[in-house]
Structure 1
Amino acid sequence: MNQSVKKALNLLNLFDEKNYELTLKEIADRANMPKPTAYRLLSALESMKYVYKLKDSEHDSRYRLGLKLLELGQLVSDQLEVRRIAFPYMEMLARDIQEAVHLVIVNHQEATYIEKVESHKAIRLYTRIGKNSPLYIGSGPKLLLAYLPEQEQETILNEADNRINRGNFKEELRRIRLEGYSYSIGEQDENTTGISYPIFDYRSRVIAALTVSGLSTYFEGENLTRIKVKTEETAAKISRKLGFRGHIQGVVD
């Protein structure tokens, strides 16, 4: 890790329930660094809203942790909450349709698989919890990308370069939003199909994708219809449990 970044992050660790407010001198002394160095690092943290400076006078300032940390903490809390709430529903869905079920979230312009329930079939797909994937490959990542703000979509698509047909892909994202689900064949693993539906939170934001995947030969005809219906219903149940009260595409309230 870059030493300046490490030193700046270590300054945040100086604050606790007994020291929620510290002066520049106290911070420099506890970090065992010169005051000018401490001030430079604190200024950088302040510009990113990780600390907040209270200026008592020209020569005396105190610092508190900034609201950006609260915002980030809420994001972590939301991720843990959706994983905890979704898991029993994922288990029921996996038993019902006999396919692997995944929970996928956006993580720094990538998709991360944060939970998984295996299929009981002899042939299983290899997808580990913690796996990262580009947001333009696979049904879960593409669904999450479709619900991101347009500016964020553009940034990610620019990085994809020639790996996608931009015009066709933007049309696919539009279709995903319109139809309320995403579908992929052989994008992450050969001869496999993935189907994903959005999970909404109480603020009506899509915070995760509920993804079902398995061998493409099982995703046909009446079985495909059944898988889609069951997955959509399960995603809706998880969303309701998270406090979502809006209308969900294809679900009768």
Structure 2
Amino acid sequence: MKKAIEILDLFMEHRKLTLSQIVKLTGLPKTTVHRSVNTLVETGLLHVCADEGYELGLKLLSYGTLVKERLDVRGVAYSFMQQLQEDVGESVNLIVREGDLAIYIEKIDSTQPVRVFTKVGRTAPLYAGACPRILLAFAGEEERTHLLNTADWRVYASGTMKSKEEVLPVLQQSRISGYAVSHSELTEESSAVAAPIFDHSGLVVAGLSLAGPTHRFGEERLPFLIEETRRTAARISTALGYR
């Protein structure tokens, strides 16, 4: 991996390089360079030119676009997340999808003594928890079916959903209502509400959630938490250009 990255780094200064040029610039054995370059070509990170040279592959453009989108949504969302935490008093999380997982990219912890802690960088399956599941709910139908068919259905807590048949009607309801709710799905005695964040093209690029101990997410307070989460997610979406 380190050698492959070293080769990719060369293309920051060179638009196109031949195999012999890569060998000369890196000082690596020709067999090592040949093997690494072949791997980079197979994965779409390098492209073979008509004259047998190499240049950066289009897959890197996809990665760059994803990074830009995620940096954009994180930067735009943060002030709204701060306001939501101040208004409601619960922890606020921002999550994006990474393949078949959800990854937490930003959080603002509650200041209350009893709270739910989440680490930035934490991952969770898309079927478990309100915020991961809202991303799954708004994925394309074909993609959603594939993700459900290939899920490992690991049980994290007493409320974790255990099958495609159990999750499907919940996903459908989330698509209709525009929010998701979970109780003891990833951690015992923790609850969350979540809403989708849309970009300028109408795609869901992130999920916003409130999380806290279950005793503060009871029937009397839940409608208020849902409404505040949906309202904040809508404001972030508007700031990202969604209409």
Structure-2-length-normalised TM-score: 0.89
Distance 1:122 1:201, change over 3 A: same
Q: CA deviation at 1:72?
A: 0.1
Is 2:11 the counterpart of 1:15? yes
1:145 aligns to what? 136
Larger CA Rg, structure 1 vs 2: 1
Output the CA distance in 2 between the equivalents of 1:170 and 1:203.
26
Match of 1:240 in 2: 238
Question: Partner residue of 1:249?
Answer: none
What is aligned with 1:128? 119
Identical amino acids, percent of aligned pairs: 35
Structure 1 stretches of 5 or more lacking a match?
246-253
How many Å apart are 1:80 and its aligned residue? 1.2
Shift in Å, 1:23: 1.9
The equivalent of 1:159 in structure 2 is 151
Q: Normalised by the size of structure 1, how large is the TM-score?
A: 0.85
Q: Across the two proteins, how many residue pairs are aligned to each other?
A: 236
- C-alpha offsets along residues 51-95 of structure 1, whole Å, 9 cap, x if unaligned? 222223xxxx22211221111011011111111110100010111
User: Partners of 1:85 and 1:189 in 2: how far apart?
Assistant: 29
Cα distance in 2, alignment partners of residues 27 and 150 from structure 1: 44
Contact 2:178–2:230 (8 Å) recurs in 1: no
Please tell me the residue identity of whatever aligns with 1:104.
I
RMSD, aligned CA: 1.9
CA contact (8 A) 2:202 2:242 kept: yes
Secondary structure class of the residue paired with 2:120: coil
Structure 2 runs not aligned, ≥5 long: 156-161
- Tell me the equivalent position of 1:197: 195
In 2, Cα distance between equivalents of 1:46 and 1:190: 46
1:43 corresponds, among 38, 41, 45, to 38
Q: CA deviation at 1:190?
A: 2.1
Alignment of 1:35-184 (within 5 A): 35=30, 37-56=32-51, 61-157=52-148, 158-161=150-153, 164-184=162-182
Aligned equivalents of 1:87, 1:173: Cα separation in 2: 27
State the distance in 1 between where 2:168 and 2:66 align. 27
